[in-house]
C-alpha cells in the first residue's frame, strides 16, 4: 500500500462517524479535511442560527475525529489562508500533504456535486449510505409508475425496515393513521418545548464569529439553544420521545400564536446534519409504542415523516435532476413580497409564521405548507424565489429535502410529480387548525372586500385562473362545482377583490 495520504472530505451536513468516505479511508495515513468556507455559508443568505449550528457542530465533530485517532486539517472561516471554497481548500490541503486524490461522500446538492467533479484534484464520490433508500433503489421503485405517490414508496420502506410491522401486515391493520392526526390545538399544551442547551465556549466563539460576519442576514442569532454534538442531539431526541411523542400525532397540524413548538420534535436539523440517524430515531419511537408509552397514530405519523417523506423527497430530488428548482408549471411570475423578510403584513398567520422563522430558524410543516407556502401559491409567486427563501431561512434546509417539498409539494411547480393536486385552501382551514384568525385584522368569515381574509378570495381566483389545468382533476371537482354554483356577481366580486389585493401587494403597499 502506498504511503501517500489521501484527503477525506467531510462536509458540514455529514457529521457522522459512519460516513462512507471515512469507511473507505485509512486512519493511519489519510487526512480528513473540513472547512468553513464563504461559498457554502453564502450561496443563499442562510439564517444566522443555521450557520452557527453547523460551524459549531463541525468544530466539535473535528475534535471528536482527532480523539478517535484521525488526522484532521480544519479551516475556520476567519483563517488567513481560507480560499473560500471547498475545491480551493482541497487543493490547499493537497499541497500541504502531498495527497493526489480525495475521497468524498456524495453531497446533497447538485452545485456541490458539480464542483467536486470539476475539481483539479481527482475526487471519488461514494454513495451516502446514511439514507435508507439508495438512488438505484428509488429509481427501480419509480420505473414504469404513472404516479410516484409517496404512500406506496413509504409502504416499501416499512416492509424493508420492519418498522411497525406485524409479520407482512402493518401494525394495527392500517398503513397510515393520518386521518387521526388533524385535531386543532387543545386548550392547554403540556409540553414545554424542545430541549435547549446553554452555549459552551466553542459555541460562544462561533456565535461571535457569525455575529460579526453575517449580521445583515435575515434571522435572530441569540438566544441560541440548539444541540451542537451527537450527545446533545440524543438528549433532545429522548426528551421528545418521553415528553411530546404521545401527543404529537393528534396535534401535529395545529398552530398557535402563543406556542411555537406545540408537540413537535425540532430534531430534523440534527438528522439532516448527521448528528442523529434515521434508525435510532425511528427505533426510539417504535420502542415507545411497544412499551405502551405512545399511541400508534403518533408513532406511525412520526416514522412516516422520516422513512416516508424524507426518503421520498431525496429520491425525487436526485431523479429529477439539477433543473428541478427552475420548474414553473403554473407560470407564476410575481416577486416574493417583502413581508416574507420583515413580517410587515396584517395577515396574522403569515406574520406569525415569518416572525417565528426569523427567531427560531424553524416552523413546522403546516406553517410552511398551509400558511407561507399556501399564500405564495395562491398569489402566484415565482416558485424559484419561494424555493430560495425556504432554503435560506430554515436550519434543517438542504436542497435535496427542501426543493421537492417547495417546488413539488408546496408550489405544484413540477406539474404533479409529488402531489396529485395543489395544496391550497381558503381561510377556513387556517381558522380550524389555529387561533391566528381571532386576532387578525382581516375577517375570516368575510369572502370579498377589503376586510375579507385574503386567503378566501385568492383561493377562488387561483382555481379560476388555472381551471384549464385542474378542472378535470377528480380531487378538485367539488371545489369547481362550488365555484360554478356561485352567482355571476359573487364570482366577479371575488375576482375583483383578488385583483385589487394583488395590485396593492405588487405596489409594495402594506397588506
The Cβ of residue 344 has, within 10 Å, a number of other Cβ atoms equal to: 12
For every residue of 330-389, DSSP letters joined together read T---BPPPTHHHH---S-HHHHHHHHHHHHHS---HHIIIIIIIHHHHHHTB-HHHHHHH
Residues 289 and 348 in one domain: no
Residues 356 and 294 in one domain: no
pLDDT at 179: 86
Q: Quick check: is 299 in a domain? A: yes
Residues 189 and 305 in one domain: yes
Evaluated on CA atoms 379, 384, 385, 390, the torsion sign reads positive
Residues 54 and 108 in one domain: yes
Sequence-distant (≥ 6) Cβ neighbours of residue 176 within 8 angstroms: 151, 154, 300, 304
Q: Quick check: is 288 in a domain? A: yes
Q: Looking at residues 53-81, what average pLDDT do you find?
A: 98
Decide if 226 contacts 49 (C-beta within 8 A).
yes
pLDDT at 176: 95
Residues 449 and 486 in one domain: yes
Q: Quick check: is 212 in a domain? A: no
Q: Quick check: is 450 in a domain? A: yes
Residue 201, CB-side half-sphere exposure with 13 Å CA sphere: 0
Q: What residues make up the domain containing 255?
A: 135-193+244-315
Residues 189 and 265 in one domain: yes
Q: Kindly indicate the confidence band of residue 328, based on its pLDDT and cuts at 50, 70 and 90.
A: very high
Distance CA 415, CA 36 (A): 37
Distance CA 71, CA 79 (A): 19
Long-range contacts of 56-60 (CB under 8 A, 24+ apart): 56/202, 56/203, 56/206, 56/228, 57/12, 57/15, 57/228, 57/229, 57/273, 57/275, 58/12, 58/15, 58/34, 59/202, 59/206, 60/202, 60/228, 60/229
Report the DSSP pairing between strands 7-9 and 169-170: unpaired
- Nearest CA to 38 among 190, 209, 154? 209
Q: Looking at residues 183-191, what average pLDDT do you find?
A: 93
Sequence-distant (≥ 6) Cβ neighbours of residue 169 within 8 angstroms: none
Give me the CATH number covering residue 19: 3.40.50.620
Distance CA 86, CA 104 (A): 11
Average pLDDT, the chain: 97
* Bridge partner residues of 387 (DSSP): none
Sequence-distant (≥ 6) Cβ neighbours of residue 165 within 8 angstroms: 158, 159, 171
Instruction: Calculate the dihedral angle through the C-alpha atoms of 164, 169, 175, 181, rounding to the nearest 10 degrees.
Output: -50
Q: Quick check: is 430 in a domain? A: yes
pLDDT at 469: 96
Residues 41 and 151 in one domain: no
Decide if 154 contacts 310 (C-beta within 8 A).
no
Q: Looking at residues 216-245, what average pLDDT do you find?
A: 98
Q: Is the pTM of this model over 0.85?
A: yes
* Bridge partner residues of 443 (DSSP): 452
Give me the CATH number covering residue 306: 1.25.40.80
Q: Kindly indicate the confidence band of residue 3, based on its pLDDT and cuts at 50, 70 and 90.
A: confident
Residues 269 and 287 in one domain: yes
126, 145, 176 — which closes off a domain?
126
Residues 103 and 181 in one domain: no
Q: Quick check: is 438 in a domain? A: yes
Whether the pLDDT of residue 1 is over 60: the answer is no
Q: Which of 136-145, 180-189, 319-328 has the lowest mean pLDDT?
A: 180-189
Give me the CATH number covering residue 362: 1.10.579.10
pLDDT at 181: 82
Residues 361 and 496 in one domain: yes
Q: Quick check: is 232 in a domain? A: no
pLDDT at 180: 83
80, 97, 126 — which closes off a domain?
126
Which pLDDT tens digit goes with each residue over 115-164? Answer: 999 999 999 999 999 999 999 999 999 999 989 999 999 999 999 999 99
C-alpha cell, 76? 475556520
Alpha carbon 315 to chain centroid, angstroms: 15
For every residue of 446-510, DSSP letters joined together read --SSTTB-HHHHHHHHHHHHTHHHHTT-GGGHHHHHHHHHS-HHHHHHHHHHHHHHHHHHHHT--
Q: Quick check: is 365 in a domain? A: yes
For every residue of 150-177, DSSP letters joined together read HHHHHHHHHHHH-TTEETTEEGGG-S--
283, 315, 347 — which closes off a domain?
315
Whether the pLDDT of residue 406 is over 60: the answer is yes
Q: Looking at residues 30-43, what average pLDDT do you find?
A: 97
- Nearest CA to 267 among 287, 232, 237, 300? 237
Based on the structure, what is the number of domains in the chain?
3
Residues 144 and 162 in one domain: yes
Number of H helices, E strands in the chain: 25, 7
For every residue of 193-257, DSSP letters joined together read -S------HHHHHHHHHHHHHSTTSSS---S-----SHHHHHHHHHHHHHHTHHHHHHHTT-B-S
C-alpha cell, 413? 411547480
Residues 456 and 482 in one domain: yes
Amino acid at each position: 500500500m502506498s504511503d501517500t495520504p489521501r484527503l477525506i472530505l467531510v462536509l458540514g451536513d455529514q457529521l457522522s462517524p459512519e460516513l462512507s468516505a471515512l469507511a473507505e479511508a485509512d486512519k493511519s495515513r489519510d487526512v480528513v479535511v473540513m472547512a468553513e468556507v464563504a461559498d457554502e455559508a453564502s450561496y443563499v443568505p442562510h439564517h444566522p442560527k443555521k450557520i452557527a449550528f453547523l460551524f459549531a457542530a463541525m468544530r466539535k465533530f473535528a475534535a471528536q475525529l482527532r480523539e478517535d485517532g484521525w488526522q484532521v486539517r480544519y479551516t475556520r472561516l476567519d483563517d488567513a489562508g481560507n480560499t473560500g471554497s471547498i475545491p480551493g481548500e482541497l487543493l490547499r490541503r493537497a499541497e500541504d500533504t502531498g495527497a493526489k486524490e480525495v475521497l468524498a461522500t456524495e453531497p446533497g446538492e447538485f452545485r456541490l456535486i458539480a464542483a467536486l467533479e470539476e475539481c483539479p484534484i481527482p475526487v471519488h464520490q461514494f454513495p451516502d449510505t446514511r439514507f435508507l433508500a439508495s438512488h438505484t433503489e428509488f429509481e427501480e421503485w419509480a420505473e414504469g409508475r404513472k404516479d410516484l405517490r409517496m404512500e406506496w414508496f413509504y409502504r416499501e420502506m416499512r416492509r424493508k425496515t420492519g418498522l411497525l410491522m406485524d409479520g407482512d401486515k402493518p401494525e394495527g391493520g392500517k398503513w397510515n393513521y393520518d386521518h387521526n392526526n388533524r385535531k386543532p390545538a387543545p386548550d392547554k399544551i403540556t409540553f414545554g418545548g424542545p430541549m435547549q442547551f446553554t452555549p459552551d465556549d466553542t459555541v460562544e466563539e462561533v456565535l461571535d464569529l457569525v455575529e460579526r460576519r453575517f449580521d445583515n442576514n435575515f434571522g435572530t442569532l441569540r438566544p441560541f439553544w440548539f444541540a451542537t454534538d451527537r450527545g446533545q442531539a440524543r438528549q433532545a431526541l429522548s426528551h421528545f420521545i418521553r415528553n411530546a411523542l404521545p401527543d404529537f400525532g393528534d396535534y401535529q397540524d395545529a398552530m398557535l400564536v402563543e406556542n411555537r413548538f406545540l408537540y413537535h420534535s425540532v430534531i430534523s436539523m440534527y438528522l439532516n446534519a448527521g448528528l442523529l440517524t434515521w434508525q435510532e430515531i425511528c427505533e426510539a419511537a417504535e420502542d415507545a409504542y411497544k412499551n405502551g408509552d405512545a399511541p400508534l397514530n403518533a408513532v406511525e405519523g412520526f416514522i412516516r415523516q422520516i422513512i416516508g417523506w424524507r426518503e421520498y423527497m431525496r429520491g425525487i430530488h436526485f431523479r429529477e435532476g439539477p433543473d428541478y428548482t427552475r420548474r414553473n408549471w403554473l407560470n407564476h411570475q410575481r416577486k416574493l413580497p417583502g413581508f416574507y423578510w420583515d413580517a410587515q403584513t396584517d395577515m396574522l398567520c403569515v406574520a406569525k409564521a415569518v416572525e417565528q422563522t426569523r427567531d427560531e430558524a424553524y416552523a413546522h410543516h403546516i406553517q410552511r405548507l398551509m400558511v407561507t407556502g399556501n399564500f405564495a401559491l395562491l398569489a402566484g409567486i415565482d416558485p424559484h424565489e419561494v424555493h430560495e427563501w425556504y432554503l435560506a431561512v430554515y436550519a434543517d434546509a438542504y436542497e435535496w429535502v427542501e426543493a421537492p417539498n417547495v417546488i413539488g409539494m408546496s408550489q405544484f411547480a413540477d406539474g404533479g410529480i409529488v402531489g396529485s393536486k395543489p395544496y391550497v385552501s381558503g381561510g377556513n382551514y387556517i381558522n380550524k387548525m389555529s387561533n391566528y384568525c381571532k386576532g387578525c385584522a382581516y375577517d375570516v368569515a368575510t369572502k370579498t372586500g377589503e376586510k375579507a381574509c385574503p386567503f378566501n378570495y385568492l383561493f377562488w381566483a387561483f382555481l379560476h385562473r388555472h381551471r384549464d389545468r385542474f378542472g378535470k382533476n377528480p380531487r378538485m371537482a367539488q371545489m369547481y362545482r362550488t365555484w360554478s354554483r356561485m352567482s355571476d356577481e359573487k364570482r366577479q366580486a371575488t375576482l375583483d377583490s383578488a385583483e385589487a389585493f394583488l395590485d396593492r401587494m405588487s405596489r409594495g403597499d402594506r397588506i
